Amino acid sequence: DGGITQSPKYLFRKEGQNVTLSCEQNLNHDAMYWYRQDPGQGLRLIYYSQIVNDFQKGDIAEGYSVSREKKESFPLTVTSAQKNPTAFYLCASSISSRIGYEQYFGPGTRLTVT
């Protein structure tokens, strides 16, 4: 089945540690995105990538880093510099960020940092 997978579903880390969230898609989509959702808030864009080896900052990129070495994969690293890392993280993809508008979302990873 085609889709987007995120792992793990729940992740716990100690403050001060970097943590990497996985996102894989087999939809052959060029564009991939990372969002963060906090309680009572909409989805806020962290980073996005239009194509392999290219990515741009979204609205709240500080404290995060990404890589796009393969078309299928877009991992997100939450660094110790992120002041409020506890959140629900969503990965999405679309055919192309140039012409595609419909984004398909993964199931999300809930990160808790204590």
Q: Which residues bind another protein (CB under 8 A)?
A: 4, 6, 9, 31, 35, 40-45, 48, 50, 56, 58, 88, 90-92, 96-98, 100-108, 110
Nearer to another protein, 43 or 52 (CB): 43
Nearest distance from C-beta of residue 32 to another protein, angstroms? 12
Nearest distance from C-beta of residue 21 to another protein, angstroms? 13
Cα separation values, 31 from 3, 12, 41, 77, 103, Å: 14, 28, 24, 18, 9
